[in-house]
Amino acid sequence: MRIAVVTPNLNLGHYLEDTIQSVLANLAGGDEYYIVDGGSSDESREIIERYSSRITKWVSETDRGYADAVGKGFSWASADVLCWINSGDILLKGALSRVRALFCERADDLLFGDDYLIDPRGNVISWSCGRVASLRKMMLYGGWTPLQDACFWRREAYEKIGGMDRTLRYSGDYDLFLRLTRNARVSYVPYVFSAFRRHPGQMSIASTKHYQYEKDQCRRREIGEIGTPEARLLRRPYYWTAVRVRARILDPVWRMRAREAVGKNAMELDCAC
């Protein structure tokens, strides 16, 4: 069971080395690692070159955004399982070994789990739980997106749906996982696989309105394809409320659960249940 990891990057050299080191520490024989740099003007290229002998393939060239970069990386992959980890984010120690074992044991096409939220220095702020009863319904009617850095899927399922929509600029993750849930076998697994770094200038924060607009377009497309009988109209307020309950009520609970990890550097933490 081989795993391919893709890292898109644009001018995030300050955090990129942590990401590269965390991925390389996870790789086993036959695994693949691709870095797609969008033509950075900072130190990113020099950092990548330092690790080039251990990277399967990398480029530094202008692209149309992160979805285009991620899609480009996946187009090179030949491994059985795919994932991507954005520059700045961290794969916890032993994460890919756990993923490999889970896919060998299970018939799922997409596995999604938990992650830590970390500050710019890489220290844990809190824990984020990915558990939902129905990923497709939470995405379709509630607009929820799974924790992208804690998602792993079979290449076969990815290719079956046509892969990444490389024309999207903001919501490529939401669109990909929403389409994967249409016919794929999907399961939540209670492991903390990764750490998502909060830092200034982050696209997911700076472009919230654009991200939401693209998400709504993707959601409407999916709802239009399955039809909208009256029985389904009640689902949106239900799942919309469920998403907000998670954010406002459960977040303090999750922070309590993460108390043993809070303040520790994610590079030192193991993938754990």
By C-alpha distance, which of 164, 248, 201 is closest to 15?
Answer: 201
185 exposed, middle or buried (CB, 10 Å; 0-12, 13-18, 19+)?
middle
pLDDT at 214: 92
How much is the pLDDT for 73?
A: 98
pLDDT value of residue 196: 97
pLDDT recorded at residue 259: 73
Task: Walk me through the domains of the chain, giving residue ranges and CATH numbers.
Answer: 3-268 (3.90.550.10)
Handedness of CA 178, 179, 183, 186 (dihedral sign): negative
User: How many C-beta atoms lie closer than 10 Å to residue 206's C-beta?
Assistant: 11
Q: Which helix (H) or strand (E) holds 195?
A: strand 186-197
DSSP-assigned letters across all residues of 85-127: --TT-EEPBTHHHHHHHHHHH---SEEEEEEEEE-TTSBEEEE
Low-confidence ranges of the chain (pLDDT < 70): 201-206, 225-236, 238, 240, 243-258
Q: 26 in helix, strand or coil?
A: coil
36: number of Cβ within 10 Å: 26
pLDDT digits (tens, 9 = 90+) for 46-104: 999 999 999 999 999 999 999 999 999 999 999 999 999 999 999 999 999 999 999 99
